[in-house]
Amino acid sequence: MRPLVKSFKIRDIEINPPLILSPMAGVTDISFRRLIKQRGGVGLTVSEFISVEGLTRNNPKSKRQMRFYENERPFAVQIFGGQPERMRMAAEMAEEVGADILDVNCGCPAPKVVKHGGGSGLLKDHPRLETILTEIKKAISIPMTVKIRAGYYDHTINAVETAKRAEGCGAEHIALHGRTKEQGYRGLANWDLVREIKQVVKVPVSGSGDVTTIQQAFDRFRETGCDGVLIGRGAMANPCIFRQIEDVAHGREPFQPTLEDKRALLLEYFEMLQQDMPKLAAIGRMKQLAGQFTRGLRGGALFRTALYHSHSVEEILDRISEYFETITAGKQYFGEAGRPELVEAPALDSCEAMTAAPVLN
């Protein structure tokens, strides 16, 4: 019998293990991807979605978003937009910077993106989708892939049709997040659609949505026959999830990070952020994301509040030391004296947050 977790290829690029860090705007930047990659178990990383309007107008932020480290390969750049000409130009730019794969975002529900025909707007405008994919395909030699949603409205679920059309235009991998645009992030992702797509296209198919445990990953492979599984929010809460899945796939006990490992991970992430971006941006990102890694730990909410109130590198390092010293000693963490209220960074729960308030680098 075919092993449940088996590498697959996008053209000649091996995705091994078949676990993909799902693209997340405001999250999967160069530092976050580096952090996850170093934990192990990831077969492919994808950039945040990058605006083709920004890229083709030389917006420095958009260009920065294409950066990656050589040892991150294979690495995909994901672009979004609705204008075929700009999508083609941006795809060429991604190939020029050395990306291994060019991924087209056909799922972002943000009104700002959909209004211009991009993101999930492409799910209800197949002719535009086909024009864009055909244009891109003509222009690049690296594989083109797509990430789609179940459909635009809850009553117009058309993922199978979208996938077939994308394949017809030369897409070499289909990733499906099984929610509709209308659904946003409510309810659960429909993985039956992943199985249905797998049955009708020849290119590899991966599924995305709600995988947060080792068991769920194995279940989704088994139930759908998909080639790959994407993990997004689950990796924010547990950056070791890929490694743990890979451990179990190889018959090992899954790696269980100790408190010391978690502290080291936070420090490593902060160090990477400071290497990869200006200090203020690094502090902003740290406040936004570090808290995610401490969800479920004792006193975690107070720790996140304390981080949120920190304004310098030193303060952040002090808060991390205090927090971990306290909980390692088995004591109660009370946060900052005189600041009993809980204030957390706004939840990062979709690409919408980033298009509405692009505050982080």
Ligand X SMILES: Cc1cc2nc3c(=O)[nH]c(=O)nc-3n(C[C@H](O)[C@H](O)[C@H](O)COP(=O)(O)O)c2cc1C
* Strand duo 8-10 + 13-15: pairing: antiparallel
Minimum Å gap between C-beta 129 and ligand X is 15
Among 13, 25, 90, 289, binds ligand X (CB under 6 A): 25
* Residue 276 to residue 264: CA distance in whole angstroms: 18
Among 76, 89, 169, 211, binds ligand X (CB under 6 A): 211
Give the residue carrying structure tokens 């743990």: 244
Beta bridge partners of 151: 157, 180
Task: Give Cα separations from 178 to 152, 175, 197, 206, 326 (angstroms).
Answer: 11, 9, 11, 11, 42
Binding mask 26-45 for ligand X (x = CB under 6 A): xx------------------
Binding window for ligand X (CB under 6 A); candidates: 19-27, 82-90, 274-282, 290-298: 19-27
User: Which tokens belong to 75?
Assistant: 């690495």
Binding window for ligand X (CB under 6 A); candidates: 18-26, 30-38, 128-136, 198-206: 18-26
Among 5, 13, 22, 166, binds ligand X (CB under 6 A): 22
Among 18, 107, 143, 228, binds ligand X (CB under 6 A): 107
**Residue with smaller CB distance to ligand X, 74 or 209:** 209
Is there a catalytic annotation at residue 226? no
Binding window for ligand X (CB under 6 A); candidates: 5-13, 238-246, 279-287, 347-355: 347-355
Minimum Å gap between C-beta 170 and ligand X is 19
User: Residue type for 157, please?
Assistant: I
* Residue 233 to residue 237: CA distance in whole angstroms: 6
Q: Is 243 in the site for ligand X (CB under 6 A)?
A: no
Q: Would you say 210 and 191 are in contact if contact means Cβ atoms under 8 Å apart?
A: no
Given its phi and psi angles, is residue 330 left (phi above 0), alpha (psi -120 to 50 degrees) or beta? left
| 218: enclosing H helix or E strand | helix 214-224
Single out the residue of 258, 262, 221, 269 nearest to residue 17, CA to CA. 221
| From 108, 169, 240, 351, active-site residue | 108
Q: Is 193 in the site for ligand X (CB under 6 A)?
A: no
Q: Is 5 in the site for ligand X (CB under 6 A)?
A: no
**Residue with smaller CB distance to ligand X, 176 or 272:** 176
Minimum Å gap between C-beta 336 and ligand X is 27
The DSSP call for residue 23 is: -
Q: Is 209 in the site for ligand X (CB under 6 A)?
A: yes
Q: Would you say 349 and 185 are in contact if contact means Cβ atoms under 8 Å apart?
A: yes
Q: Is 23 in the site for ligand X (CB under 6 A)?
A: yes
Q: Is 118 in the site for ligand X (CB under 6 A)?
A: no
Radius of gyration from C-alpha coordinates of the chain: 20
| 78: enclosing H helix or E strand | strand 75-80
**Residue with smaller CB distance to ligand X, 198 or 233:** 233
**Residue with smaller CB distance to ligand X, 24 or 306:** 24
Minimum Å gap between C-beta 10 and ligand X is 16
Q: Is 232 in the site for ligand X (CB under 6 A)?
A: yes
Sorted by sequence, the CB contacts under 8 Å of residue 206 that are 6+ apart come out as 18, 20, 173, 174, 175, 176, 194, 226, 227, 228, 229, 230
**Residue with smaller CB distance to ligand X, 223 or 325:** 223
Q: Is 234 in the site for ligand X (CB under 6 A)?
A: yes
Q: Is 198 in the site for ligand X (CB under 6 A)?
A: no
Task: Give Cα separations from 128 to 97, 132, 152, 178, 239 (angstroms).
Answer: 26, 6, 14, 21, 37
Instruction: Name the residue with the smallest CB distance to ligand X.
Output: 232
Among 78, 162, 224, 238, binds ligand X (CB under 6 A): 78
Question: Could you give the residue numbers annotated as active site?
Answer: 108
Give the binding site for ligand X (CB under 6 A). Answer: 22-27, 48-49, 78, 105, 107-108, 147, 177, 208-211, 231-234, 348-351
